[in-house]
Amino acid sequence: MTGFHQCRWGYRNVTISKEVVANYKKAQIPLDTMWNDIDYMDSYKCFTNDAERFPLDTWRPFIDQLHKDGQHYVLITDPGKLFSNTLRTLMRFESFLVDDIKTQRTHLKDRIHLACLSAKSKDLTNFKFF
């Protein structure tokens, strides 16, 4: 999608997103695509919406109006881990961190090794860290 886009984290509810679009129109600034960051999600769970801040009965007409006006709408999905204070969740999270640290350590060691090999070749015109 080419054209003029508006994207920002912090549009806390559908009313604010509607106001942004209306203000673009009022100021006669082109807007082809409106984005919403993860603020719309219910507790930041993927493929959900917060029913209080982004109720479907208000949100859907807003999106329909964008489409009628020839505009596009994009939702950002940011997959993550839901964190809660249960022992099982804490144990899974700790395991995830340990596995991630091991992976990153191995990856970093390989990158440093490659950087040293490149530097030893004395051909610094093709030096690459990665």
Proportion of the chain above pLDDT 70, given as a percent: 60
Write a three-state SS string for 5-72.
Answer: EECCCCCCCHHHHHHHHHHHHHCCCCCCEEEECHHHCCCCCCCCCCCCCCCHHHHHHHHHHHHHCCCE
- Say if residue 66 is in the same domain as residue 10: yes
Q: What's the distance, CA 62 to chain centroid? A: 21
Same domain flag for 70 and 20? yes
Count CB atoms within 10 A of the CB of residue 37: 16
Number of domains in the chain: 2
Same domain, 48 and 105: no
Per-residue pLDDT at 26: 96
Residue 57: its pLDDT value, please?
A: 95
Domain co-membership, 67 together with 9: yes
- Closest by Cα among 21, 16, 85, 14 to 49: 14
Query: For the chain, how long is the longest CA-to-CA vector?
Result: 65
pLDDT digits (tens, 9 = 90+) for 54-106: 999 999 999 999 999 999 999 988 776 555 555 555 555 455 555 555 555 55
Q: Pick the more confident residue, 57 or 47.
A: 57
Are 71 and 43 members of one domain? yes
Quick one: 62 and 122 in the same domain?
no
Domain that holds residue 18: 5-75
Q: Assess whether 96 and 65 both reside in one domain.
A: no
Q: Are residues 9 and 70 in the same domain?
A: yes
Mapped onto helix, strand or coil, the DSSP state of residue 5 is: strand
Tens digit of each residue's pLDDT (9 = 90 or more) over 100-112: 555 555 555 555 4
Task: Say yes or no: 116 and 69 in one domain.
Answer: no
Based on the domain organization, do 96 and 64 belong to the same domain?
Answer: no
pLDDT given for residue 44 in this prediction:
79
> Is 49 found in the same domain as 15?
yes
